Structure 1
Amino acid sequence: MICCLNPDCPNPLNPNGKKFCQSCGTPLVSLLRNRFRVIRVLSDEGGFGRTYLSEDIDKLNERCVIKQLAPKFQGTWSQKKAMELFAQEAQRLQELGEHPQIPTLLAYFEQEGCLYLVQQFINGDNLLKELQQRKKPHTAREIQAILLDLLPVLKFIHDRNVIHRDIKPENIIRHKSDGRLSLIDFGSSKQFTARVQNKSGTSIGSHGYSPLEQIRDGKAFAASDLFGLGATCFHLLTGTSPFQLWMECGYAWVSNWRQYLRTPLNAELDWVIDKLLKKDIQLRYQSADEVLRDLMPKQPLALPPAGKSTATIPVTKASNLPKSYGLLRILVLGSAFIMLFGFSESWYKHFRRIQTTLSSRLIHNSPSKNNPILGQALKINLSKVSLFKTLQGHENSVLSIAISPDGKTIASSGDDGYEGLRLRKIQLWNIATGTQISSLNTYSGHVNVVIISPDGKTLVSGNDDSSIKIWNLVTGRQIRTLTGHSDSVHTLAISPDSQTLISGSDDNTIKIWDLATGEQIKTLTGHTFWVRSVAISPDGVILASGSFDKTIKIWNLAKGYSIRTLAGNSQTITNVAISPDGKTLASGSRDRTIKLWNIATGREIRTLAGHDNTVTTVAFSPDGQILASGSRDRTIKLWNIATGEEILTLAAHTNTITSVTFSPDSKTLVSSSDDNTIKIWRLVE
């Protein structure tokens, strides 16, 4: 399809090969600037242009967003102001796009009388759409997580003297792959200078979300953005729009905002929201750092008692520590100092690597019965890892992959479709040749996850519409649909005997199903946020689950009760996997690390650090020697399980890695990505 760029065209999509739009007669442009292929309209900007979903052919058809400025009233004040803001947005993205939670500017140009701004595509929904879809307000815990995710972004832009001026739910997008929030739409942003502080300017912002000094006087400060953040949190907590309240009673609502709450907040969060929403700027928080200090737990700079876990140092009993205990103490103190006072991201990254390496060595030199990996060091030499083939068949992100037990077939899920009719596809591929075997259309929400049963007979998919679909893998026919979850299904696991199905959902629950009959056996509750990963031990006895509530739970699968909770992570858990011998659990997190745990004792074995962004997926090789991890940093890393050492890094994908999995013989690795591709790697020893 080719999209018409006339902002007034009522039906812009046209078949390929057409020279003129069938709807409005405008000449069609196949490539903007000979580089960008426009796919479809994302939004209409009310007479000033449109925003389009596009592909960058110079980057292997990577998705991007193109904003078009085509004002109708040439020479007017409105047109001049629109052009000023448009150029301003490009300038801000150029300055700030280095941050992983701010879109990167790809291009800015004029073509045929219109201005175009091209930026990175954030694959996800904004917080307003998320609120509308979930049909219930956010919890206090979820709001605190949102604050902790966004405040460092605001600190980043404020430290560079930029004020966003339009913080609201529509301008915050949650990435589908890992839940991280991105701040978008810098069209209203302004450089914070002495002139801005002392001179009234144009009133820009959104009523209800922008504070009095911004709406009335056109002045904006860091504290003004913090008011917008507070109003956003209020909206998500109550489901009540600040704009509607502003229409009814102006700024009076900020004095009695608590009356709209369904349940009272804890004292800490109540204090923070109240101070964010102060009408008087002098009484409001002045910086993101001030808010973070009130949100972070007040803990003294001291070494934790022996046996207690921390967020940064692998758990080790004091009695097992070597003589170099003082060095470990220094590492803990240094970590606490960084958490409280902060350093640059690059300094922190290097510190974490040094810290993890030293801690790993300390523990490795102190064998313990609680650590099943120690004493089994095995040197792994991969003489050659080659990219065998890249599979291209999905039109959008490839969200999940699975390999059949015979090692012959790959199943992949993605969000493919067209305007109006969305065909959510599951693709089946021949792993030996890389050719597509067949395609299964689900006609439902995003197919978030696919899995193949150990007996090779059944394919199961988990969908965004909260359903689970069961398929005959051989015939490709759908057997049944399971319903019971009230929100998206993002993770699945099947027991070794192929009789039991496990599903995890954004409704915070885990459900156990009879795979043969589709009967729901039990619902496991305990997580307080989205369940995004589940894994079953090889003997079918243990179930592990990872959640955005920053915890991992270990369950007795047969009896359906929780054995223990692992809570040593400082950020959300994105993925969990259990080793082939059933002794070790690996967890990936948004804190950019992988943790290895002793399943029997619940103790942390070691932390693997090396990725530069969120770890999105982890997988053990069937021979038990290698752990593969994928990340938002667009790389795959292979680790020696026995030593914790990084073996090598695979860098060929051009976007977030969404899934990795090994073939049954451990000689092939398959990866999927938000770059719309699947890659097959050959591992040779």
Structure 2
Amino acid sequence: MICCLNPECHQPLNHDSNKFCQACSTPLVPLLINRFRVLRVLSNEGGFGKTYLAEDTHKLNETCVIKQLAPKQQGSWAFKKAIELFEEEAKRLQDLGEHPQIPTLFAYFEENNFLYLVQQFIAGENLLNELEQSGEYNESQIRELLLDLLPPLKFVHERNVIHRDIKPENIMRRKSDGRLVLIDFGASKQLTVTVHTQIGTQIGSQGYSPLEQIKGGEAYPASDLFALGATCFHLLTGVQPFDLWAENGYAWVNDWRQYLPSSVSGRLGEVLDKLLKIDIQERYQSADEVINDLSPKPPTPVVPPTIPVPPQRTVLPIPKRQVTPPQPQFKQPVALTQLIKTGKFRNWLLGVLLLGLIGIEIYSYTRYGFSANPIFLIDSFPSSFFLEKNLKRYFNSVFSVAISADGKTLASGGYQTIKLWNLATGEEIRTLKGHSGSVYSIAISADGKTLVSGSYDNTIKLWNLATGEEIRTLKGHSDSVLSVAISADGKTLVSGSYDNTIKLWNLAIGEEIRTLKGHSDLVRSVAISADGKMLVSGGYQTIKLWNLATGEEIRTLKGHSDLVLSVAISADGKTLVSGSLDNTIKLWNLATGEEIRTLKGHSYSVNSVAISADGKTLVSGSDDKTIKIWRVAP
């Protein structure tokens, strides 16, 4: 077989006799630079090229890996940056490939306007695949990992190179000897993240990369050591650091032990504590420091006393001080910390939700990701509220909640699971499993029969709410599904995604109706008007209004200076409310698209907005840990 080298070809394998690709008609190249025979695609780098498995005909057909750089927008900043990073990766591999736990560079060349980098093939599995196949690591395995990986990392740092993207996917276990190999030192994959998020020149993986790297673009040996600590945490717990980082930034590193399936020894715990320090000055500064703390300490030699022993004297015993053992501490939900004092507080956010406020989302999106709270049930009458019950806490974070129209069932989405609760008693009914990533959004149909979930795994799942059985999985988005909404008649499902698109689906049969394109960035929020005629979507600085029946864009509303996190439509269909990362709430005339007013009062992002059924009360929830109630003037 011969492999087509067109990076956009979806069926690249061809018979050896073919001169042109049977799928895309591109001329086929039997040997790159008359040396390398490409066998098949290993991975797609998201528009910047592909990674191929190949044979080196100059080395008795030795297997190798070829990375291709082929960005679409040639001449752009992205193209120039891609070339720069690709060349950097080649230079790094050339300098570092002499180490047995780092792939060797075989060649670097240009052909047919594409750049190619050829490196040693490592037969084995990356640690993420190993985790998925064999389960969480134990303490002994983590110690072995650290002691095996720290020496090559020291080798890298001593040559003034920072990897900047250490995570389980970039660590291979070599099949021949079981040793760990550090891979992916550069360009195209990292640049894909940079361009996708449109955040300057950020390089790294969110959740694994430390604050100084994500926020300031700076990286040091201590930065790689933080990523190594986050990798160990992931392998110990099975919990992805991205999901915790998305919940509430870097707060998770302060209490990472709560996610452990079993405790670790004091020594390893202290090492992980120091690897995961947010402040770089408090973190390990070199691989040698970590190795030293992991290595067994030799016993301290006993030195006989060389000074005269003083005369014995009577010493009165010191009475033992009574120490009260520390009581377990339970973190209050972030959005309510300033409200909960002695168990009595006002909480309009959930209170009015139970009274019938529409479209409220309890999970949030901060400047660094999602945040979420434990689930609480509150008295539904809007006077002095008190905490009625605290539902059983998730092992992981709660990202989304929804309540059935009859008020009997609460659904909550977390890491790979959805839980159903009896709203009256607070008892868990069942757990729905099927997603392979966090469940970011949930919606329940008006008839209470169907639950819809959107996930980090790029899929949407439909569930029978009564039985908990999965009905079907909808695939179509190429990135995380951040928001879902169901029309009042239960016929149409709408989903918004990190892939910048909105998709409309026939809920009854699960078929895609159409895809709406218009947003230049992720679609964070969607809402459907009560009459089912209009769809509203929130993206970066813009809100778009769409004709739900035809999919035509009606208009674009501009006014926010950052991502629109939440949208809600009044029951009469006249007013739209939007909350944003720019800390403001805006009210819009839906008929004309004109901005009515801007509400300022929150000091951080406005994550959730809702309007009461009579249209007189607006509620907003924010990362400033407050809930605000606004009276809508007639």
Q: Which has the higher contact order (CA 8 A, sep 6+)?
A: 1
TM-score scaled by structure 1? Answer: 0.42
TM-score for both structures, normalised by structure 2: 0.45
